[in-house]
Amino acid sequence: MFKNLFKNTPEGEIQEVNLDEAKMPQHVAIIMDGNGRWAQKRGLPRVAGHKRGMEVVKDITKASSDLGIKVLTLYAFSTENWKRSEKEVSFLMDLPVKFFNTFVPDLVENNVKVNVMGYTEYLPEKTQKAVHDAIEQTKDNTGMILNFALNYGARAEIVTGVKKIAQKVVDHELSIDEINEDTVSKSLMTESVAPYNNPDLLIRTSGEERISNFLLWQLAYSELVFTDKLWPEYQPADLVENIYEFQQRDRRFGGVKEGKNK
Ligand code: IPE
Ligand code: IPE
Ligand code: MG
């Protein structure tokens, strides 16, 4: 059991909670949503929400690492987010630069290793450099993997994976009969966080209850937790609460609960 962990109650109070160490999710993925609404509620421009959201990423990274999570995947920019205004996209492209400039020493101190999945070749040069440098500076760390989905889209990821497999067939490295679920899984971007390719827990903030082109293959048996909290107001106590909810779930993977097989 972990000690001194707290969660928020529906009444807004803070309550001590014991998480079950044996049932910790190993891979947690988060759709960090609600930055724009958080800012607009305060009469601020949308980008103010992204700025505050970046600070929340730092807090949640540290909390996740302290909780012993192996992989934390954060959806930071989708292949569809290019549809936003030039001003907003440009701000979002600067965020990784700001984030890594200030946070890499903390990542090193916490033994956290950075990984990025997505079509990074389409990001501005400065963003690519920030990402590349952060990966390089944390490559020897052996603790939690902080995995950013940056210019990531699951449908595009699947298309890329299918092409890789098709090329192997054309090159006679693989026969069609040899293609199985493992082949597909290995062709996806989450192979970079193997053996934790599939999230145990997916959290989406902001009250929206949809997947928005995130990890379509990998979420097949993930537990989904939706919270009304907007990302800029999400706190370590909320993460604990969401993990607590995960631990109450009965993951059956299509089977029958133990002892109920009669
Ligand atoms: C999530 O917050 C951050 C990104 C998608 C980059 P949003 O910017 O989507 O915030 P809302 O959903 O408009 O409130
Ligand atoms: C999903 O949020 C993408 C990220 C959090 C990076 P969106 O705000 O883009 O998703 P929709 O448009 O509400 O589906
Ligand atoms: Mg949104």
| pLDDT, tens digit, 9 for 90 and up, residues 207-238 | 999 999 999 999 999 999 999 999 999 999 99
pTM of the shown model: 0.95
| pLDDT, tens digit, 9 for 90 and up, residues 139-183 | 999 999 999 999 999 999 999 999 999 999 999 999 999 999 999
Q: Which residue has the tokens 């537990």?
A: 223
* Best of 35, 94, 152, 213 for a ligand 1 pocket test (most atoms within 8 Å of beta carbon): 35
Instruction: Name the band, by pLDDT with cuts 50, 70 and 90, for residue 259.
Output: confident
* E-strand stretches of the chain: 5-8, 14-17, 27-31, 71-78, 113-117, 145-152, 201-204, 223-226
First to last CA, the chain: 32
Among 258, 239, 253, CA closest to 25 = 239
Q: Which residues line ligand 2 (CB under 6 A)?
A: 31-33, 75-78, 81, 208, 210, 212
Instruction: Compute how many other C-beta atoms are within 10 angstroms of the C-beta atom of residue 179.
Output: 16
What does residue 205 show for φ and ψ, rounded to 5 degrees? -90, 170
Residue 37 carries which side chain, given as an amino acid letter? R
34 labeled binding residue: yes
